[in-house]
Amino acid sequence: MAGSEEALRHELEAEGLHIFSVTRAGSAMGIPFLRRREKVPSVDFLLFNTQLRTLLHAGLPLAQSLELLKAQQTAPHFKALLDKVHQQVTTGVALSDAFLSLGDVFPRLYSNTLRAGEQSGELESVLQRFVEYQRIVEEMRKKIVAALTYPAVLVLLSVCLIILLVAKVIPSFAGFYVSFDSELPLVTRSVLGLSDFVQGNFFLLVLAGIAAVVSFKAWVRTPTGRLITDRWRLKVPLVGRLAHLFALSQFSRSLSVLLGGGTPMVPALDTAASSINNMWISKLLMGCVQEVREGRPLSDSVEDTRVAPAMALAMMRVGEATGALPEMLVHTSEFFDEEIEFALGRMVALFEPMILIVMGVVVAGLLLAVYYPLLTLVTKIG
């Protein structure tokens, strides 16, 4: 066993092998969810592609452009990946193959887009399409995150308030009510019992919560877990529609980029379907690949999956009939983007008052359960 990556590279090259890249294996424990894969920030990747397209447009050779971009990269992980890509390109490896050799660090959509540009001799224009695609997807993702941030903060603050009431405020009333000769109401006894349980097992409950979260995240990272959670996410009111629209927008725009760059329909469809974040919708659309390969129209295959609305299917059929499918897919993705904007606005408008009402009722119920015996006592005295 080689002592380092460089030593292994020299050993294999000495045997006459051509090495694309050497990657250190995972931990000996072999537990997938304990190994964290460092990702390239989407903003850095977008900036890299924008600058690469600019350098190629200025007439710089590809190897020199990669060397310049690698030198100015500040993120160590991304810089190391670009160094591997640059080494392979300087030895004659195609840029698409160089990125593909890095595994799933970069999306397969990117490698296939580059390959289409290399085969058509229009790498610069294909990069421009991918940059536009990446920028639109990133902007839409930021809008979704921004819209969900405020409701998430409200939920977090409300949960913290409830924990504070149950763990600290309510127990202070327990000793006061012990002096009562009369029996306390059932709701008060239940709340006080819950408070005693939380206070006595607080650290155990915290550890159990952490263990549950870690276990759930580990299960979600498995193919089965992700497939189930992605399908469940689509059924959540409001949020499910948002996830559905985003997946369809991503699929339409990805397929448009690939077809516009010259990639044949079948491999383009396979790549676009696999690039969708939602695994359930990705699985349904992957089933269209074989049907399209056998000659069936894309719109008919997608219609059978029942994931796309009638408007989108009609636009696909127009594109197939006129030979302008990439352009119509762009319009289709824009249609989905408009739907996302509308769904976001409606969701935020409904979520904020809904969260406030639900949490208000919970907090008011806890306080009423605690103060009810005291109010009853005051009434009797009065």
**Which residues have CB under 8 Å from 277's CB, separation 6+?**
246, 247, 250
Q: What is the pLDDT of residues 216-241, one digit of tens each?
A: 999 998 989 999 999 998 998 878 88
pLDDT-based confidence at residue 19 (cuts at 50, 70, 90): low
Exposed, middle or buried by CB within 10 Å (0-12, 13-18, 19+), for 250? buried
Please report how the helices 279-293 and 239-260 are oriented relative to each other, as an axis angle in degrees rounded to 10.
40
- Can you give the pLDDT at residue 22? 53
Distance CA 171, CA 178 (A): 11
Q: What's the token pair of residue 257? A: 């980029």
**Chain segment 318-348, per-residue pLDDT in tens:** 999 998 998 899 889 888 888 888 888 787 7
How is residue 15 annotated by DSSP?
T
Looking at per-residue pLDDT, the higher value among 6 and 299 belongs to 299
Residues of the chain above pLDDT 70, percent = 86
Number of residues that this document lists for the chain: 382
Q: What is the tens place of the pLDDT at every residue in 192-219?
A: 788 888 878 888 988 998 999 999 999 9
Range with lowest mean pLDDT among 17-21, 107-111, 304-308: 17-21
Structure tokens, 25? 């294996």
What digits encode the pLDDT tens for the residues 158-186?
888 888 877 777 777 766 666 666 677 77
Q: What is the mean pLDDT of the chain?
A: 81
Please give the C-alpha separations between residue 239 and each of 242, 303, 346, in angstroms, as whole numbers: 5, 23, 11
What are 243-292's pLDDT values in tens digits?
Answer: 898 889 889 988 888 888 788 899 889 888 888 888 899 999 999 999 99
Q: What is the pTM of this model?
A: 0.68
Alpha-carbon span 125 to 127, nearest angstrom: 5
Residue 41 pLDDT > 70: yes
Instruction: Please give the pLDDT value at position 3.
Output: 41
Q: Where are the alpha helices (DSSP H) in the chain?
A: 5-14, 42-57, 62-71, 76-90, 95-100, 108-120, 123-164, 171-178, 186-200, 202-220, 223-234, 239-260, 265-274, 279-293, 298-305, 310-322, 325-381
CA 66 to chain centre: 28
Identify the band that residue 29 occupies on the pLDDT scale cut at 50, 70 and 90.
very low
The confidence score (pLDDT) of residue 1 equals 44
Supply the pLDDT for residue 170. 74
Give the per-residue pLDDT at 199: 78
What structural domains does the chain harbor? 5-22+37-106 (1.20.81.30), 136-382 (1.20.81.30)
- Choose from 24-28, 102-106, 207-211, 371-375 the range with maximum mean pLDDT: 207-211
**Coil, strand or helix at 309:** coil
Tell me the pLDDT band of 6, cut-offs 50, 70 and 90: very low
Q: Rounded to the nearest 5°, which phi and psi values hold at 39?
A: -105, 155
